[in-house]
Amino acid sequence: MEDKIKLSEAVIVEGKYDKIKLSNILDAFIIETNGFAVFKDKTKLSFIKKLAKERGIIILTDSDHAGFMIRNYISSGVPKEQIKNVYIPDIFGKEKRKNAPSKEGKIGVEGMTKEVIVEALSKAGITSSKSVCSDPVTTVDFYDLGLTGGAGSKAKRKALCKTLDLPEFLSTSSLISCINNFMTKEEFYSVCQNLGD
């Protein structure tokens, strides 16, 4: 199995299929805007701003008009030194899962090959960072701590998100990924001990 590109910055994409595609190429915290929904989702926008301030963000939206509207909206609220813009080329056609091409006929992030995405990252001056977490927090840790699989698990995860100043909409896998990006397993266990019941 080829190594994934490890990135310290958070990667902003439009939708879940983009996230799935990039998850096979990048070892990074990936967050979706859910398309234009980000325009009305103040919580998500403030979370993106927080990520930008703490570690920087990489914006990787489709190359169509909609993708640029989303990119510009996010960019307008974040200092430009905290943003790296990655642009995919205009390739015409349609994604495999779709019956017809998009309105502008361009293939989005989800339809790009790994080579095209890696090349786009390279053009933006983005290369792998070496800060690999040697002992990451896993779903097993979450289970052991009662954060999954138990009666009060959801409430505990919500309390953990609040303590870590993270939005409650994070899925368990996104939460684990996020935790591994900014704290050690020891720090995580310490935080959980202080959560209380």
Give the model's pLDDT for residue 49.
Answer: 96
CA 161/CA 188 separation, integer angstroms: 12
Give the model's pLDDT for residue 167.
Answer: 62
* Alpha-carbon dihedral sign for residues 103, 105, 106, 109: positive
* Alpha-carbon dihedral sign for residues 36, 124, 114, 50: negative
Give the model's pLDDT for residue 184.
Answer: 84
Give pLDDT tens digits along the chain (197 positions): 467 888 999 999 999 999 999 999 999 999 999 999 999 999 999 999 999 999 999 999 998 999 999 999 999 999 989 999 888 888 888 888 888 878 888 899 999 999 989 888 887 878 665 444 568 899 999 999 999 998 999 999 988 988 887 766 667 887 887 787 667 888 899 999 888 65
Cβ atoms of 82 and 52 within 8 Å: the answer is yes
Domain coordinates in residue numbering, the chain? 5-123, 139-193
DSSP category for residue 161: H
Cα angle value 155/158/162 (rounded, 5°): 140
Give the model's pLDDT for residue 179.
Answer: 82
CA 13/CA 27 separation, integer angstroms: 14
CA 146/CA 152 separation, integer angstroms: 8
Q: Judging by DSSP bridges, how do beta strands 83-85 and 5-13 pair with one another?
A: unpaired
Instruction: Give the closest residue to 61 by CA, choosing from 83, 32, 38, 82.
Output: 32
Q: Which two tokens stand for residue 80?
A: 């430009």
Quickly list DSSP for 163-195.
Answer: HTT--TT--HHHHHHHHHHH--HHHHHHHHHTT
pTM, rounded to two decimals: 0.68
In the chain the first and final C-alpha atoms are separated, in Å, by: 41
Distance from the Cα of residue 143 to its chain's centroid: 23
Please tell me the class of the 5-123 domain. alpha beta
